[in-house]
Structure 1
Amino acid sequence: MRQGNDVLTADRLVYDYILPAKTGCLAFVAPGEILRITDLAGLQVVDMAVFNRANPRDKLSTSYSRTRYKPAPGQKFVPRDKLVPGDILLSTICTPLMKITADSAMRVGVHDVHHRMCNRELYEYYGHPGRRGCHEVIADLMAPFALLPEDIPDTMDLFMNYYHDCGRGHWVIEPGVTKPGDFIEFEAICDCIVALSNCPMDVIAPVNGSTCSPVHVQVAER
């Protein structure tokens, strides 16, 4: 189990928000500041998109983040399928955005970095018209920064238990592994805009346990 940063005390907090189920928020995280997302009830997924505040078109690339890490001296480079503490989130032009500093779940690294967000079209296709997905939530949050829905990148889906079954030839979604109070923590490397969607999916797949629930979003100075 990874321990969190000890700077998250009341006197250092610059943002402290309980994000209700099925909603989104923005967090502005300056270099050196700590972002922590805590799963309050357990089993809840949070879709996270990260943008370079100096140029919001320069945004998270989960593919580069998985495959452009630097192995230790003497170790072979092997592209990986997950992100864990110590890994760097890179942008679409490989700008270092944030570093993962803690992951408190018993199974570290259970966060989807391959899948696209849920969206209105997905829900409609499976017989649930009129529902907004994480893509719509994050696109609306980023609209004031002159980004269009097609500019929104694939997200890092925090706490999502999603893996590939080679034998069956397809991806598998299973209930999460987080317990109440589990969290993941990041340290900003550049000035970042972090757009979060507290995933609204309670149909189609067992993404968020039996019900969607709030999460705690905090940003703290060092």
Structure 2
Amino acid sequence: MKAETTLHDILIPARHARAIRMKRGQEVTITDVAGGQVGDVFAFAADDITEYHSASHTRTGISRLFPHVGEQFLTNKRRPILALVADTSPSGTHDMLIAACDAQRYAELGHPGHRSCAANLQAALSGAGLEMPSVPQPINVFMRIPADTAGDLSWLPADTKAGDHIIFKALMDCVLVVSACPQDLTDINNGTPTELHLSVNQGQ
């Protein structure tokens, strides 16, 4: 069997983000390095970043809150942009309801100037020579925000252990941004943000 060639191998520091360009068919593995860390994932069409992964269009297409392995994530133009290939997280629970943390969120929590996933996204895109005027709903990998029968949400700590990972396949040429969420004022990162690791290979 031919060994896979790693095209990108990136350690994302706690509280920061990185952007990568992916070709159709390539796969990205997002690994929780220490365990208990949420990642905000954003995906944009490479030739026009005003087309991006849309949580609402994805939920419409799959009729559930989050895709199962083998299912697709759709853009705001209803085109497939990513597929969920594999997931080793203990509960297989991820979120597409909660907005990226931003400056206003932290100001309301009494911590103005706190790092945020929204700012991380803009900085990562700027570093890639791109600009997006708004912040789309992220794919919040490893984030547990269950809804009960009354529709109330709970903010639970990520239950991943060191080395747990999720794999996405690019279904079009795209720009992927992953933020190691800096939230330390709620329990979602177990109170201490840590690193994420990205590995991109050519795919099957």
Shorter-chain TM-score tier: over 0.9
Q: What residue is the counterpart of 2:131 in the other structure?
A: 146
Q: Distance in 2 between matches of 1:107 and 1:141?
A: 29
Residue deviations 1:64-98 (CA, integer Å, cap 9, x gap): 112213xxxxxxxxx21222211101100111101
CA RMSD, 1 decimal: 1.6
Contact 1:36 / 1:185 at 8 angstroms: preserved in 2? yes
**1:6-25 superposed matches below 5 A:** 12-25=5-18
Alpha-carbon distance, 1:211 to partner: 1.0
1:59 is aligned, of 23, 41, 52, to 52
Contact 1:176 / 1:208 at 8 angstroms: preserved in 2? yes
Segments of structure 2 that go 5 or more residues without pairing to the other structure are: none
- Check if 1:92 corresponds to 2:76: yes
Alpha-carbon distance, 1:107 to partner: 1.5
Residue deviations 1:25-51 (CA, integer Å, cap 9, x gap): 011111111100000111100000100
2:24 is aligned, of 22, 31, 36, to 31
Q: What residue is the counterpart of 2:194 in the other structure?
A: 213
Structure 1 runs, 4 residues or longer, greater than 4 Å off: none
Alpha-carbon distance, 1:178 to partner: 0.9
Secondary structure of the equivalent of 1:135?
A: helix
Q: What residue is the counterpart of 1:72 in the other structure?
A: none
Contact 1:44 / 1:159 at 8 angstroms: preserved in 2? yes
Q: What residue is the counterpart of 2:148 in the other structure?
A: 165
Q: Distance in 2 between matches of 1:208 and 1:61?
A: 24
Contact 1:98 / 1:187 at 8 angstroms: preserved in 2? yes
- Check if 1:107 corresponds to 2:91: yes
Alpha-carbon distance, 1:196 to partner: 1.1
With normalisation by structure 1, the TM-score equals: 0.86
Q: Distance in 2 between matches of 1:195 and 1:146?
A: 12
Alpha-carbon distance, 1:201 to partner: 0.6
Q: What residue is the counterpart of 1:174 in the other structure?
A: 156
Q: What residue is the counterpart of 2:174 in the other structure?
A: 192
Alpha-carbon distance, 1:183 to partner: 0.3
Letter in structure 1 aligned against 2:182: P
Contact 1:18 / 1:214 at 8 angstroms: preserved in 2? yes
Contact 2:122 / 2:131 at 8 angstroms: preserved in 1? no
Q: Distance in 2 between matches of 1:141 and 1:210?
A: 24
Q: Distance in 2 between matches of 1:39 and 1:100?
A: 17
With normalisation by structure 2, the TM-score equals: 0.93
Alpha-carbon distance, 1:132 to partner: 2.4
Alpha-carbon distance, 1:100 to partner: 0.5
Q: Distance in 1 between matches of 2:131 and 2:197?
A: 27
Alpha-carbon distance, 1:114 to partner: 0.9
Contact 2:12 / 2:18 at 8 angstroms: preserved in 1? yes
Report the number of matched residues: 201
Contact 1:27 / 1:219 at 8 angstroms: preserved in 2? no
- Structure of higher CA gyration radius: 1
Q: Distance in 1 between matches of 2:15 and 2:162?
A: 18
Contact 1:162 / 1:172 at 8 angstroms: preserved in 2? yes
Secondary structure of the equivalent of 1:170?
A: coil
Between the two proteins, what is the percent identity of the paired residues?
28
- Check if 1:118 corresponds to 2:101: yes
